[in-house]
Chain A
Amino acid sequence: MPLIAQPAPAESDYSLVACLDNVRNLSTVLKAIHFREHATCFATKNGIKVTVENAKCVQANAFIQAAIFQEFKVQEEPVTFRINLTVLLDCLSIFGSNPMPGNLTALRMCYQGYGYPLMLFLEEGGVVTVCKINTQEPEETLDFDFCSTNVINKIILQSEGLREAFSELDMTSEILQITMSPDKPYFRLSTFGNAGSSHLDYPKDSDLMESFNCNQTQVNRYKISLLKPSTKALVLSCKVSIRTDNRGFLSLQYMIRNEDGQDFWLLLVDWIRQSHLWNIMKFALNGLFLESGE
């Protein structure tokens, strides 16, 4: 695409326009799902969903609600494109990722449509940077068909309680075993590594437990290498919801607090389960946009 100045398109020519006072509200969330180079973006009137997938087994979605933007316009729904997430994040933090307090970077993001680059106008202290990031052919994303009616067990924990557990996972263990049960041990994370096994138990009456809804004992094993990247989201979040459905698929959702104090759910990851019956991999997906808050 030639970079020579073209007549600026009229506002109505853009299929997506989004403005944000504080770019960190966006970049923080995108960092949480940045475990692969590329991401697919979907924009609807409700907001923007950014999806990253790995190994056809795990899908991470960040959902940035329209309300978080000061201005948000979508012409024809849905607007989809694929983009290099690393480049996008580099551009968003072009004024530095840790700005001086009280010195916010504002963002205006425009997308003209299929074949056009994503335009970013970043402004801080009167200095404007314009970034054009080439967009790519959108890829089909996985549909794990994870729907809340099939959810068997659901726990909401304060992230603080899981953070350390995830950062200290024994990576010599190939799997992480998650036990959710209405009876003891209620909620247990287990690894089986070279040095031996370890178990982490959370009682259901713990202060960390925001809600505990387990109907049936489930013991599921997930590949630890696919779960590990979710640590990034965990670190940023204040609450995490852990759900498993009747097929053993796992959905983890993180509530990340905005810098302005607004809460929103970042939907992250649904995991493969090693099926006991057929010894094949299955896939899970969370619902498209989840209700915000609990």
Chain B
Amino acid sequence: MKCVVAGGNVKVLGKAVHSLSRIGDELYLEPLEDGLSLRTVNSSRSAYACFLFAPLFFQLYQVATPGQDTLRCKILMKSFLSVFRSLVMLEKTVEKCCISMNGRSSRLVVQLHCKYGVRKTHNLSFQDCESLQAVFDPASCPYVLRAAAKVLGEAVLPFPLALAEVTLGIGRGRRVILRSYQEEETDSTIKAMVTEMSIGEEDFQQLQAQEGVAITFCLKEFRGLLSFAESANLSLSIHFDAPGRPAIFAIKDSLLDGHFVLATLSEPSPNSQDLCSPELRQPAPQLQAHSTPNLDDFANDDIDSYMIAMETTVGSESSRTLPPISLSPDFQPPCNSEEEDEAEPELSTVPGTPPPKKFRSLFFGSILAPAHSPLGPSPVLAEDSEGEG
């Protein structure tokens, strides 16, 4: 894989890496026919993010060098971020950025061509290649909000940085309400203040949701995407469903698209209902009635069925062409229970992540790529080892 990013796009790429770094510790880099994808998932698997940079974004984009298998790789977010650490520097001094993947040496080479002929070469070691693919479908979400990122960015500005979650809902007069979310057990000092922002319908390019619907999600990740979207001057659409169902935050322009999938709280806490305006209090029953035949699934911790399977693709370009698993509520992936078993320990082992019981994990299964990829070197290796044995 080889690609060259030039001019102002280097900063765009850097910004994307910064916003991904708010979510996960590992970055999945996968060159696809329709662009370079950068993906990450957080450690509790309640947030997933991906950016896809179209081939036109690059000055040069080569999925695979002739005679080479397509590679994908996973690298430490920290090490990739260190290349793009200073956005000011990227803007001021970097003229061109070449990214190439070398399968033989297992190195991702990022080369920055800077002013004055200075050249920085980072050889980053990467790990085994698996594909991270969340399956989600914005089209299946009944509610959509779309507004300029600036509008939403300004709306979240007053919230304290320490605030973990925010509730987004539609209030009276179809005003969009953002309110700091508080857990019952939070200590009183933080509880003392509730911040609420209300945005008029006219600020939204699209507002497809009735009064009373509301979801609660993590603010940090949302801020990450917002800061990217604001700098690129894009509008952000939020696709969501009933509380507990993942919300999809999407941005798109001709050269790139970005999707953040965040878990939402499964039920509004009684406390937050007290603070709610009457309109906001209603949603849960309404939604549940609306949303499904299998209401029971919400009561069970049966999340994973709704979200996201991670698939490993053997072929070089197949992962994105796979039909996504439907997100329709009555769909049940067959392997559901199995996956959940895997998910649980992970949730409990990660400190500092959102309250595990409250947020439903958007589960990603992880399967290593089968050793025999069609063009891979494995047959040769097998022969060798036989010879030695």
Question: In whole Å, how far is A252's beta carbon from the nearest beta carbon of chain B?
Answer: 18
* Contact status B116-A198, CB under 8 Å: no
Give chain A residues whose Cβ lies under 8 Å from the Cβ of B89: 164
For the complex, count residues of B whose C-beta is within 8 A of A. Answer: 21
Size class of the contact patch on chain A: 10 to 19
Q: Which residues of A contact B (CB under 8 A)?
A: 161, 164, 168, 170, 194-203, 205-208
Could you say which of B47-55, B77-85, B164-172 contacts chain A? Answer: B77-85
B122 in contact (CB, < 8 A): yes
* Contact status B123-A201, CB under 8 Å: no
Give chain A residues whose Cβ lies under 8 Å from the Cβ of B122: 196-198
Residue in contact with B117 in the complex, picked from A168, A199, A202, CB distance below 8 Å:
A202
* Contact status A199-B118, CB under 8 Å: no
Give chain B residues whose Cβ lies under 8 Å from the Cβ of A201: 118-121
Contact flag A161-B116 (CB < 8 Å), given A196-B107, A198-B121, A198-B122: yes
Question: In whole Å, how far is A158's beta carbon from the nearest beta carbon of chain B?
Answer: 9
B124 in contact (CB, < 8 A): yes
Question: In whole Å, how far is A233's beta carbon from the nearest beta carbon of chain B?
Answer: 20
Contact flag A196-B124 (CB < 8 Å), given A168-B85, A168-B86: yes
Number of A-B pairs, beta carbon distance below 8 Å: 55
B122's nearest neighbour on chain A, judged by CB, is A198
Give chain A residues whose Cβ lies under 8 Å from the Cβ of B78: 195
Question: B87-123 vs A: 1/0 string, CB under 8 Å?
Answer: 0010001000000000000011000000011111111
Give chain B residues whose Cβ lies under 8 Å from the Cβ of A207: 116-117
Across the A-B interface, give the 3 residue pairs with the lowest CB-CB distance, nearest first. A195-B79, A196-B124, A203-B117
B76 in contact (CB, < 8 A): yes
B288 in contact (CB, < 8 A): no
15 A-B residue pairs with CB within 8 Å = A164-B86, A164-B93, A194-B79, A195-B75, A195-B76, A196-B79, A196-B107, A196-B123, A196-B125, A198-B121, A198-B122, A199-B121, A201-B120, A201-B121, A206-B116
A208's nearest neighbour on chain B, judged by CB, is B116
Give chain A residues whose Cβ lies under 8 Å from the Cβ of B107: 196
Cα(A161)–Cα(B107), bound, Å:
27
Question: In whole Å, how far is B281's beta carbon from the nearest beta carbon of chain A?
Answer: 49
Within 8 A of A (CB), among B121-152: 121-125
Cα(A213)–Cα(B23), bound, Å:
48
* Contact status B117-A206, CB under 8 Å: yes
Give chain B residues whose Cβ lies under 8 Å from the Cβ of A164: 86, 89, 93
Cα(A161)–Cα(B85), bound, Å:
17
Given contacts A198-B120, A198-B123, A201-B121, 6 further A-B contacts (CB under 8 A): A168-B82, A195-B75, A196-B125, A202-B118, A203-B119, A207-B117
Give chain B residues whose Cβ lies under 8 Å from the Cβ of A199: 120-121, 123
Give chain B residues whose Cβ lies under 8 Å from the Cβ of A170: 82
A185's nearest neighbour on chain B, judged by CB, is B119
Give chain B residues whose Cβ lies under 8 Å from the Cβ of A196: 79, 107-108, 122-125
Cα(A203)–Cα(B116), bound, Å:
8
Residue in contact with B124 in the complex, picked from A195, A200, A202, A205, CB distance below 8 Å:
A195
B112's nearest neighbour on chain A, judged by CB, is A200
Question: In whole Å, how far is B29's beta carbon from the nearest beta carbon of chain A?
Answer: 14
Cα(A164)–Cα(B86), bound, Å:
9
Cα(A173)–Cα(B304), bound, Å:
41
Question: In whole Å, how far is A228's beta carbon from the nearest beta carbon of chain B?
Answer: 16
Give chain B residues whose Cβ lies under 8 Å from the Cβ of A200: 118-121
